[in-house]
């Protein structure tokens, strides 16, 4: 049976959601983050990088969210959750599927890093570290993040979903950046369409089922 190696509070929640949307049977092997928020070393027995998400299926071990989504859609989708080939919507689908991790997550990860560093610095160095991190956030990270959030807002003005007027797996992939931006990037300030997108996905029954099976889910708060 298809197995999801599921790390709590991680991108693997999207994989559970996709499987619930497709109605594909699966089992979950659970892993808990360590106190420093890193994945446990047991995940390295599944994949050398020890990251999540990872799935195993029919002798295949597949990592990376985008690759997993492409595999699941090709193997179990039967044409669902992906636009028809050779259409503008299909091109948008491919773009958002790769943009989510390739571009969107970079400023969000930097935001998290520069926010945490002062809290974890030695007490004597904390004021200096906080000053450097605040400068990086103000000059570099926050402007980039705002640019991305404004971009999402503009694209969602063109259609209800990222790849067009139909919900697709690209929306599942894009859910994590938007949820992270809501948690730590100020998405709620001036981005009503992006916030409405989050409301729509959170209302989907398959999203709720995935949360029930995957456990509590809180992104970067």
pLDDT (tens digit per residue) in 73-116: 999 999 999 999 999 999 999 999 999 999 999 999 999 999 98
Query: What is the DSSP code string of 108-129?
Result: HHHHHHHHHHHHHS-TTTHHHH
Ordered by where they begin, the domains of the chain are 3-82+208-214 (3.40.30.10), 88-204 (1.20.1050.10)
12-22 and 169-184 helices cross at what angle (nearest 10)? 140
pLDDT of 218 above 90: no
Higher pLDDT among residues 38 and 165, named by residue = 165
pTM of the prediction? Answer: 0.93
Cα torsion through 36, 38, 43, 44, rounded to 10:
-100
Rounded-to-integer distance, Cα 15 and Cα 25, Å: 12
């Amino acid at each position: 049976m298809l197995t999801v190696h599921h790390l709590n509070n991680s991108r693997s929640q999207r994989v559970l959601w996709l499987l619930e949307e497709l109605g594909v049977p699966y089992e979950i092997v659970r892993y808990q983050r360590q106190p420093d928020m890193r994945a446990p070393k047991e995940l390295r027995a599944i994949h050398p990088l020890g990251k999540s998400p990872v799935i195993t299926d029919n002798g295949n071990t597949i990592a990376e969210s985008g690759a997993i989504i492409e595999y699941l859609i090709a193997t179990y989708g039967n044409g669902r959750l992906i636009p028809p080939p050779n259409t503008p919507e299909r091109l948008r689908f491919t773009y958002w599927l790769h943009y989510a991790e390739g571009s969107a997550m970079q400023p969000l990860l930097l935001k998290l890093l520069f926010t945490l560093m002062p809290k974890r610095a030695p007490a004597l160095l904390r004021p200096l570290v906080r000053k450097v991190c605040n400068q990086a956030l103000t000059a570099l990270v926050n402007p980039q993040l705002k640019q991305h959030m404004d971009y999402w807002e503009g694209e969602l003005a063109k259609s209800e979903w990222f790849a067009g007027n139909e919900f697709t797996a690209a929306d599942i992939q894009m859910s994590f950046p938007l949820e992270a931006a809501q948690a730590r990037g100020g998405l709620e300030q001036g981005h009503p369409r992006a916030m409405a997108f989050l409301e729509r996905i959170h209302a989907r029954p398959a999203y709720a089922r995935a949360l029930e099976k995957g456990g509590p889910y809180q992104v970067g708060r």
